[in-house]
Amino acid sequence: MPLSPAPRAGLAPVLVIGIGNPSRGDDAIGPRVIERLETLGLPDTELLTDFQLQIEHALDLIGRREVVFIDAAAAGPEPFSFAPVSAAADAGALTHALSPAAVLEAFQRISAAPLPAAFVLAVRGYGFELGAPLSGAAGANLDAAVQMLISRFSAASRTRSGCD
């Protein structure tokens, strides 16, 4: 039976989740983006980091208007891609590490609430070795991704406050 809990008091309508392992080179991109955003004090935004997405992250979506999943990408466009994501079950039978689409699908199974708008920010990385630092090229891609998010959140804030 789907849950219909009331949103928690003071819940930020926007959730940004940085996914990755800070000890594995460019896999640190997701957490590093969150570290940079934390310095900005973004209004109406909650920032989380984790090594990987798990089924419990579906609970973090309750009461949200929007969620952005940030992760390093071993392939794909440079410096990053930013695209909407829809709910879909993962093909595998394991539930220990999920895709953003599978987290959204789990949310649909547990909640009667509408899905938040959801996006994946995939920042191009190059090296994922254990103990390696963030590469210079991935650092440049991270900078570009952070600037895009700052612009996007600033524009959304102006729109909501009626400044546009």
pTM of the full structure: 0.90
pLDDT per position as a tens digit, 111-141 = 999 999 999 999 999 999 999 999 999 999 9
Q: Is 162 exposed, middle or buried (0-12, 13-18, 19+ CB in 10 A)?
A: exposed
Residue stretches of the chain with pLDDT short of 50 = 1, 4, 164
The whole-angstrom separation of Cα 162 and Cα 164 is: 6
Q: Return the pLDDT at 60.
A: 96
Q: Return the pLDDT at 81.
A: 98
Q: Return the pLDDT at 160.
A: 60
Q: Are strands 45-50 and 66-73 parallel, antiparallel or unpaired?
A: unpaired
Question: In sequence order, which residues have a C-beta less than 8 Å from that of residue 77 and are 6 or more positions away?
Answer: 124
Q: Is 44 exposed, middle or buried (0-12, 13-18, 19+ CB in 10 A)?
A: middle
